[in-house]
Amino acid sequence: MEKNKNRNRILEEAALLCDDEVKILQDERLGKWNALDNESALQDMARKIRTLKKTKKTYFPNYAGPENNDAILTSELEDAGIKSGNMPEFTRKDTEVKTVVYGELHQWGFKRNWTYWVADGPGIPCDVATKLHEEFGQEVRVDGHCGCPSPLEWFKGFGVGRYHIDTVEGLKALADVIKGIYKTED
């Protein structure tokens, strides 16, 4: 009974936040709330609601499980200015999110996981990564760390070559940083 009350309270709060500015708490494209059926997902949603109330950020929805996400994921990448591509079809079954879509941007690769994108690349210098962390450190997580340590704290001065990105705004910010670092041959 208590679990259902908690679930319903979180759903009500989520519904209040699902306006034109904050759309992702309910996966409108699939029309599902089923990710909220287990306790860890409820806790994650409650954390996101608290953050959204403060920041009005747009978190990525959970696409683990359902298929036919390719067009949506391509759009998430392209909206951030990241080139999308498709892996061979046989790789679809081997991923957390059933997709063949991946992203590429100046030697960085982007792969979609549960409710976030994973970015791997040659590294962002510590000073630049620190500036990114100051504004987006809670949603562009250094090395995917849930505790959100700073680049200096986690890598002791070395560059950051892996991020987990939880929000639309964070993905765009990381893409902009990568574009700002990349040097073309003149």
Domains of the chain by residue range: 2-55, 70-181
Residue 5's φ and ψ, nearest 5 degrees, are: -65, -45
Poorest-pLDDT segment among 41-45, 87-91, 112-116: 41-45
Q: What confidence tier does 42 reach under pLDDT thresholds 50, 70, 90? A: low
pLDDT at 34 over 60: no
Q: Is the pLDDT of residue 181 over 60?
A: yes
Query: pLDDT: is 94 or 131 the higher one?
Result: 131
Residue 164 confidence (pLDDT) = 96
Backbone angles phi, psi at 34, to 5 degrees: -65, -15
- 3-state SS assignment for residue 27: strand
pLDDT of residue 134: 96
Q: What pTM was estimated for this model as a whole? A: 0.70
Give the pLDDT band of residue 48 (cuts 50, 70, 90): low
Per-residue b or e along 57-79, where b marks 16 or more CB atoms closer than 10 Å to that residue's CB: bbbbbbbeeeeebeebbbebbee
DSSP state of 163: E
Average pLDDT in the chain: 79
Give residue 62's pLDDT band: very low, low, confident or very high (50, 70, 90).
confident
Q: For position 146, what pLDDT does the model report?
A: 86
Q: DSSP string spanning 85-152?
A: EE--GGGGGGSSS---EEEEETTEEEEE-SSSEEEEEEEE-HHHHHHHHHHHTTTEEETT-TT---HH
pLDDT attached to residue 100: 87
pLDDT band at residue 59 under the 50/70/90 scheme: confident
Q: What is the pLDDT of residue 95?
A: 77
- With a cut of 50, say whether residue 25 has pLDDT above it: no
Share of the chain above pLDDT 70, in %: 68
* Average pLDDT rounded to a whole number, residues 51-57: 64
- pLDDT at position 179 is 96
- Positive/negative CA dihedral, 36, 146, 179, 105: negative
Mean pLDDT of 51-75: 77
User: What's the CA gap between 149 and 155, in Å, rounded?
Assistant: 9
What is the Cα–Cα distance from 71 to 61, expressed in whole angstroms?
Answer: 14
Query: In this model, does residue 35 exceed pLDDT 50?
Result: no
Cβ count near 174 (within 10 Å): 26
